[in-house]
């Protein structure tokens, strides 16, 4: 892992889930939970945009694996940095307004631009697989019970 990245991980973020651009579910088949800009602005100044993995908790519910794009989404040319978290779980309904806590455990890759929407979708699918595998290691597993999630 990049030395700069490892200096601020694990990183813990918390905030209310807000409506994003609506691209995750509609365009990509990969729904995301989005934080408001005030949460994004709490990232360390040296934070490297990219795709990260870790743990997510909605309100006081169970822990789920997650993968998050943190950056500018070059394919969509966002003007402001965003944190878009895909919780690796099938939910029956939206959870806007819920409190989302995430522990960012590791770094998968830097942000990339893509020649096609299909190429972006295939890369996201692989990111999800890679995140799931990475979260099986013992160091990653320990963070599931961090006090941040209300579990001593």
Which CATH number applies to 3-149: 3.30.50.10, 3.90.1720.10, 1.10.3720.10, 2.40.30.30?
2.40.30.30
Six token digits for residue 134: 């990475």
1 half-sphere exposure, CB direction, 13 A CA radius: 17
Q: What is the pTM of this model?
A: 0.89
Residues 50 and 106: beta-carbon distance below 8 Å: no
Chain segment 74-95, per-residue pLDDT in tens: 555 667 788 999 999 988 888 8
The three-state secondary structure class of 18 is strand
Pairing mode, strands 63-71 and 82-87: antiparallel
Chain segment 26-75, per-residue pLDDT in tens: 566 678 899 999 999 999 888 899 999 999 999 999 999 999 999 886 55
Q: Is 14 a catalytic residue?
A: no
Place of tokens 């979260």: 135
* The one catalytic residue among 84, 92, 111, 139: 84
Domain boundaries, the chain: 3-149
What residues contact 147, with CB distance under 8 A and at least 6 apart?
none
């Amino acid at each position: 892992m990049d030395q700069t990245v490892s200096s601020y991980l694990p990183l813990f973020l918390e905030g209310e889930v807000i409506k994003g651009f609506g691209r995750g579910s509609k365009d990509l088949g990969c729904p995301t939970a989005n934080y408001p800009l005030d949460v994004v602005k709490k990232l360390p100044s040296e934070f490297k945009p990219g795709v990260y993995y870790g743990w997510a908790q909605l309100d006081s519910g169970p822990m789920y694996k997650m993968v998050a794009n943190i950056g500018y989404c070059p394919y969509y040319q966002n003007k402001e940095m965003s944190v878009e978290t895909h919780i690796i779980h099938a939910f029956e309904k939206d959870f806007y307004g819920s409190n989302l806590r995430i522990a960012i455990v590791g770094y998968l890759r830097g942000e990339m631009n893509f020649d096609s929407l299909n190429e972006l979708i295939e890369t996201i699918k692989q990111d999800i697989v890679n995140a799931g595998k990475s979260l099986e290691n013992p160091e990653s597993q320990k963070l599931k019970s961090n006090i941040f999630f209300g579990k001593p």
